[in-house]
């Protein structure tokens, strides 16, 4: 589940992958990917997407049936939504680590 859900994670929009050949190992290739913002948050692990109509959450920011990213901020940790339920956005931790969750409500980030 882990790798699939990260690839299709609803809010990850920056992705970098690489492959290295390891000819002396039993496994000939080593693959690695880095996603931003990171996904696989436990509260959504088995539903890495939003349910609804195409571009239903982004009617002003839709391109070819996919939501674009109007938010210019990025969360630095994956549990911002959980933290936001417990603390206001004036909390220093949220201000520093979760700017997208606090400043981009109803936008993709």
Domain contains 80: yes
Share of the chain above pLDDT 70, in %: 94
Domain contains 87: yes
The DSSP letter of residue 32 is: E
Q: Given the DSSP bridges, would you call strands 66-67 and 62-63 parallel, antiparallel or unpaired?
A: antiparallel
Domain contains 89: yes
Domain contains 77: yes
Domain contains 43: yes
Is residue 1 within 8 A of residue 39, CB to CB? The reply is: no
Write out pLDDT tens, residues 16-46.
889 999 888 787 888 888 887 777 777 777 7
Domain contains 85: yes
Write out pLDDT tens, residues 41-92.
777 777 777 788 988 877 888 889 888 877 888 888 888 888 999 999 999 9
Domain contains 108: no
Domains held by the chain: number: 1
Q: To 5 degrees, how large is the angle CA 58–CA 101–CA 49? A: 50
Q: Which residue range forms the structural domain that includes residue 74? A: 2-48+57-103
Is residue 82 within 8 A of residue 97, CB to CB? The reply is: no
Domain contains 109: no
């Amino acid at each position: 589940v882990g790798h699939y859900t990260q690839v299709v994670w609803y809010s990850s929009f920056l992705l970098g992958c690489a492959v290295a050949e390891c000819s002396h190992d039993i496994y000939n290739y080593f693959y690695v990917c880095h996603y931003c913002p990171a996904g696989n948050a436990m509260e959504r692990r088995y539903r890495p997407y939003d349910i609804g109509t195409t571009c239903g959450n982004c009617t002003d920011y839709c391109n070819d049936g996919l939501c674009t990213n109007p938010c210019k901020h990025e969360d630095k940790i994956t549990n911002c939504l959980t933290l936001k339920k417990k603390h206001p956005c004036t909390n220093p931790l949220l201000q520093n680590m979760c700017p997208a969750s606090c400043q981009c409500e109803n936008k993709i980030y």
